[in-house]
Structure 1
Amino acid sequence: MSTAPSYTKELENYGIPGPSALRDLLTSSNNLPETIKEFQAANSIQLPSLKPVMKLLDLHNIRRTEYHELVVHELTDKILLKLRALGEKRTPDSVRKLERQLEKCFKLYKVPKIRPIVLETLKQLPKVADRYLKLIICDKEFYDSCAVTVRQQIWVKNDGLFLEAINPVIASYITEKDKIFLSIEKLQTNFFTCDTTKSRRQWPQVQELISMVGEREVLYERLMEIIRERYFEAGNTHYCSLRLELLMAAHDVNVEHVVKVDPCHDFAWCLDACVRDKHLDSQQTNKLKILLDTGKKSSTKVLADMAMIASDPHVVHFLCSMSIKVLRDNASSGAYLPREQNALQLLIKLIALGASGKNIITEQIPQQLVDPIIFTKFLPSFTMSMIEDIFRYELNKAPDEVADEYQQEKSVSPPNPLLTTFLKADVVCSLLWIHYTLDLLPTKRRVHENSTILRYFQMLPRLKDKVAYRDPWVHLLVHRLVTSNQFSPLLSDETVSRAVISDFLLRGIEINPNIRFHLLKLCTHLKGVLGEAYTRSILEQVAPDPSKPDVGSPTLAERFVTEYERITQKITLDRTSSLETNSEVASVKSDDTMSQ
């Protein structure tokens, strides 16, 4: 005889006959047929009109169990519909009815047939009494089955359960972001173009976190606090992206309570619009300037959150790209000094704000975001370098007699000591240098001399905080090299390829182990340009070494080994196939010669 399910005891505890009661009745009965008849009559559906139907079902050999299962299913659906209708009304009367219903059914939540009714009643109640919430916490399976609106009420009072719920979602978000950096495949889109501003905040993880927070300000503020703490601990700018995307996702779904409680909403909304349109007009410039000035006068917490938003890589990329555009246009026209351009001053201050994010979180607020010497010394000197680059570019297109006249001006000198000092000391200057280096890379419309590009590449390893070795900037550089067919002449130059790969990327592996993935990508897609010998040399230098513990996480180490083996096998097969083809061609030529 099989053991009765545990929930049957719950039925008996509340006076509903179960297997034990039936067994006691049968074992103590002097008249079994009469006892069974009485039990059926007492526990059947009490409808006089049903008796003829039951006899008809008996004639068709339909078991009573099947009939009762169907009735329970139909009744459950009708009750659930009525509960949802009461929940939609949100009137005091409907709430009272839901509370009475919960009081009647909650004690039987362990019974599978009744649990859906209990769960729906809990879901439709705007506020569940604490006595129920305490019991829900004690049953992990039941807690997991409850609607998110019910669990929100628990999370408000239980920080540990809230952390337990959001941690896997945040970890999944960070992992998915990192996967974009480490992809070996050749894609036309990169980290900055694979998603639009709107699609980024529609990621499943972002939407799930917003649904978990709902309209509860306490949970939203706690979530922001957790993201802020994680960013300070890890320094991973994906947390800054998450901070911005969550706020804009709440804006999209019109969660007014959350939007109003976040003092950074206007700042984030304005920057998000600029990144989306890839443009900064005078109205947006004035608004951002006012918001920035107001933020500096606010609390440390507000300024720290603004700094996190400004640290989002998409925002930093936009700000730096716009700054380079303004500086390049000014270098061509010579109309203004850098310190005379309000838009440029704002862009530099916003970049500096993002770069100061971690310090501001620890309440180390700088007296001024940007040292004035950046505007009076660095930017003029940087602009002069741009002017020299433009001049050399125009000379290359000029007739020979003109080019010969200015032959001395065509020579490329290393960055002057003033520039070098700033690049080593200031991360804002370093970020501008990286973006100008990217801007110099060949395009269909503009190709600079290799010596010009080398001038900037050779400074990348010396930038402040080794920022050029960090993702997403190294990812963006490698992506540009892989996806553009304009780089073949550039990388065919041994001096350039050595400067990019040997002197820059290979030296950065100890700083950022993920650079190995970028080198695999280069070897996979540019082996024809780099040459077989150099490609194999690179692969040997990045080969996984079982005798040395990996610097990265075990998951990344395992992934790298898999990718490395796949790439080396592919390159070997390609080489074998090429040798066989060459052998066949040589054989055919030999046969043709002999026949002649």
Structure 2
Amino acid sequence: MPRGLEHLGVPGPDYITEQLSSCDDPEEWISRFQTDNSVLLPSLRPALPLMDLHDIPRRDFHQSLIEVLKEQLRNCLENVCKDQGQSSKKGNSDNSSSDKSGEASGNNPVVLSLVEKNFVLIEFEPLQDILFDALSRLPEIPEDILKKIETNKVVYRHSLCSLSVKRQIWQQNQNLFGEEISPLLSEYIKTKETVMYSTSDQSTFMSSAPKIRRQGVVVKRLVEFIGHNIHLYDVILQFLRTLFVKTRNVHYCTLRTELLMKFHDDEKKVITNVDPCYRFTWCMDACLKEKEVDSKRAKEMCNFVHSLKKDHSRVIGDLSMIVCDPYTVNTLVHSVFRQLQVLSARKGSFPKRNDDTLLLLRLLTLAISAWEIIDKQNFKEPKVDSKILSNFCPALLCLFVDDVIRPVEVNVEKMRKAVDPTGALKLEASKKGELLPDSVYNAEIPAAFIEGIENSKIAGHLAGEYLCHLAKARNKLALTRILKCVLESDSDLPYLDMFQHQFMFALANMVEDFKSDSKFRDFIFNSYLLVKVKKESVLRHTLRLLQLIKHKIGKELFSELIEKFKPLESCSGITDDLYKKLVV
């Protein structure tokens, strides 16, 4: 028999046990107990002997009766709340300035009375569902009842305890809310890292569409937790800011963006209307869908940032987080890179004179400065480094021109050898001082390029985009030249997670070069990757590259390469498993 009725003065299991143990005639006591506690309806009493004749237990009868009564009570609750809702709408239409504290806009008195009088039965299993249902219909649960639910972990963790009830508890106890969402945030980061080291040859970390990413379990669950509660939404945003500052993990920036846009997808305007970053984020989301930031949208977003007044300057912190999202940074870098490619083909065009390039670099500078803005509480739009526009970008344009000239130079050299196989004409030209300038391949890389990647994160991102571009184009000579320069510099670009993820996928296009050119293969695997193989993230990305090219380079060459990249004992089980899959 369920416990809990003792609180209402109804005999419970302890009382029955005690009485049966001490009475002289148990059968007589049971008969008297049944008479005293049976259903007090004359119309039902004649049915009891009939059920006894059919060996139907009294428990089954009472249980079915409870279910019928509970269903009727549920219908009553539904009708009472529906009537209140209609009255509230009518009152609002008749008098838009009605008192917000009135009963029509708050708790229903009937439901509130039911909860207050019967809350002692919250642990009485047969009636729990009714009480939890009634609680979920109260927009303002009394504080003493909320406290009792919070302290009673059995009730709080009960599957019937709805999110609408828990939200009211979380609103008063942010620490408890933090405990609830902390595992979800950890799961979110773990999911992102899993995708980062994925060995899929179909897609990369950056290839998934924004709307598909927002369908993740964690994002959906967080949106359910928040509901329409603006306070809880603000609390989660503060958690994300704090975690970003503590860990520097940019995936928290991604979650900040995905949360807001998930509310947009679900048309929860209560949240989107109060978030000052909504218009900006919606505009950037449209750019992510198209995988490019066009000049019109870039100008609109920059104007939004510039228009923020001093009393709203803190919004810049959130805006910087939104553009610091890796997907956004990647799109911005790609857009700047394409803009520079266009400029390199125009005569007399310079980056510092191009408004579109400047707008994109303003957004990229905001993204790169996100951590400093929030950590130092310096809510001002950072200025674009003048050296990026005046030095680094022109140097990058020179490299683009080199890439165009180099194939022409190779063809000229082939034609020269065909015309002058002995080299006699070349020797004669050298005596007259008529030799052509040194090969583009042998020319020094501009000092501004090297200085840029060593001192600027934006330059590093653009250099990374350039290397991936060369790998996709299978420009082996240029790739070797630039990567060697980057490795010899003080830049940390070559071994950054985000860069390596994309670069390994791009290098997978160069399978034929790995097979046919031992010098190029040794440069990539020995001079580049093997140098930092003790760093587990580098090893994982290398194993990912080997997974992508495994079936294309032949067993002998693959065995030779995989032998060099055995995991160390200190490596995690994930890395070991990845290695074992490769050697099978």
Q: TM-score range by the shorter chain?
A: 0.7 to 0.9
Q: What is the rounded CA distance, in whole Å, between the counterparts of 1:74 and 1:109 in structure 2? A: 20
- After TM superposition, the structure 1 = structure 2 runs for residues 385-400 of structure 1, keeping only pairs within 5 Å, are 385-393=399-407
TM-score, normalising length: structure 1: 0.84
Name 1:559's counterpart in structure 2: 574
Q: What is the rounded CA distance, in whole Å, between the counterparts of 1:52 and 1:464 in structure 2? A: 95
Q: What is the rounded CA distance, in whole Å, between the counterparts of 1:77 and 1:394 in structure 2? A: 85
Displacement, 1:412?
4.3
Report the CA distance shift for 1:98/1:459 in structure 2 as closer, same or farther (over 3 A). farther
Displacement, 1:81?
4.3
Report the CA distance shift for 1:458/1:271 in structure 2 as closer, same or farther (over 3 A). same
CA contact (8 A) 1:105 1:114 kept: no
Name 1:592's counterpart in structure 2: none
Tell me the secondary structure at the aligned position of residue 227 of structure 1. Answer: helix
Q: Does 1:452 align with 2:482?
A: no
CA contact (8 A) 2:293 2:331 kept: no
Displacement, 1:321?
0.8
Report the CA distance shift for 1:212/1:399 in structure 2 as closer, same or farther (over 3 A). same
Q: Does 1:268 align with 2:268?
A: no
- After TM superposition, the structure 1 = structure 2 runs for residues 340-379 of structure 1, keeping only pairs within 5 Å, are 340-363=353-376, 365=378, 368-379=382-393
Once the two structures are superposed, residues 349-382 of structure 1 have per-residue CA deviations (whole angstroms, 9 ceiling, x without a partner) of: 2112111111111226478431222211221121
Q: Does 1:158 align with 2:173?
A: yes
Report the CA distance shift for 1:107/1:252 in structure 2 as closer, same or farther (over 3 A). same
Displacement, 1:522?
2.5
Tell me the secondary structure at the aligned position of residue 156 of structure 1. Answer: helix
Once the two structures are superposed, residues 117-161 of structure 1 have per-residue CA deviations (whole angstroms, 9 ceiling, x without a partner) of: 111111111111100011111111211222111111111111220
Among candidates 405, 425, 428, match of residue 458 of structure 2 = 428
Q: What is the rounded CA distance, in whole Å, between the counterparts of 2:381 and 2:140 in structure 1? A: 47
Residue 390 of structure 1 aligns to which amino acid in structure 2? V
Q: What is the rounded CA distance, in whole Å, between the counterparts of 1:242 and 1:345 in structure 2? A: 28
Report the CA distance shift for 1:364/1:151 in structure 2 as closer, same or farther (over 3 A). closer
TM-score, normalising length: structure 2: 0.86
Among candidates 41, 44, 47, match of residue 41 of structure 2 = 47
Residue 454 of structure 1 aligns to which amino acid in structure 2? T
CA contact (8 A) 1:424 1:462 kept: no
Root-mean-square deviation (CA), in Å?
2.9
Among candidates 214, 231, 237, match of residue 201 of structure 1 = 214
Displacement, 1:48?
2.2
Report the CA distance shift for 1:391/1:11 in structure 2 as closer, same or farther (over 3 A). same
CA contact (8 A) 1:240 1:309 kept: yes
CA contact (8 A) 1:155 1:162 kept: yes
Q: Does 1:500 align with 2:516?
A: no
> Would you say how many aligned residue pairs link Structure 1 and Structure 2?
546
Tell me the secondary structure at the aligned position of residue 117 of structure 2. Answer: helix
- After TM superposition, the structure 1 = structure 2 runs for residues 110-125 of structure 1, keeping only pairs within 5 Å, are 110-125=123-138
CA contact (8 A) 1:412 1:452 kept: no
Tell me the secondary structure at the aligned position of residue 441 of structure 1. Answer: helix
- After TM superposition, the structure 1 = structure 2 runs for residues 251-330 of structure 1, keeping only pairs within 5 Å, are 251-295=264-308, 301-330=314-343
Report the CA distance shift for 1:101/1:395 in structure 2 as closer, same or farther (over 3 A). farther
Name 2:95's counterpart in structure 1: none
CA contact (8 A) 2:292 2:332 kept: no
Report the CA distance shift for 1:465/1:399 in structure 2 as closer, same or farther (over 3 A). closer
Q: What is the rounded CA distance, in whole Å, between the counterparts of 2:276 and 2:331 in structure 1? A: 23
Report the CA distance shift for 1:398/1:57 in structure 2 as closer, same or farther (over 3 A). farther
Once the two structures are superposed, residues 244-278 of structure 1 have per-residue CA deviations (whole angstroms, 9 ceiling, x without a partner) of: 11111122223333223322222211111101122
Residue 175 of structure 1 aligns to which amino acid in structure 2? K
CA contact (8 A) 1:442 1:487 kept: no
Q: What is the rounded CA distance, in whole Å, between the counterparts of 1:528 and 1:37 in structure 2? A: 82
CA contact (8 A) 1:84 1:124 kept: no
Name 2:539's counterpart in structure 1: 516
Q: What is the rounded CA distance, in whole Å, between the counterparts of 1:517 and 1:52 in structure 2? A: 78
Q: What is the rounded CA distance, in whole Å, between the counterparts of 1:508 and 1:562 in structure 2? A: 20
Displacement, 1:490?
5.2
Q: What is the rounded CA distance, in whole Å, between the counterparts of 2:489 and 2:130 in structure 1? A: 63
Displacement, 1:317?
0.8
Name 1:73's counterpart in structure 2: 67
Question: What runs of 5+ residues in structure 2 fail to find an aligned partner?
Answer: 89-102, 419-434
Displacement, 1:536?
4.3
Once the two structures are superposed, residues 185-216 of structure 1 have per-residue CA deviations (whole angstroms, 9 ceiling, x without a partner) of: x33111111x3111112211011111212222
Q: What is the rounded CA distance, in whole Å, between the counterparts of 2:449 and 2:290 in structure 1? A: 32
Name 1:214's counterpart in structure 2: 227
CA contact (8 A) 1:156 1:218 kept: yes
Question: What runs of 5+ residues in structure 1 fail to find an aligned partner?
Answer: 551-556, 571-596
Name 1:580's counterpart in structure 2: none
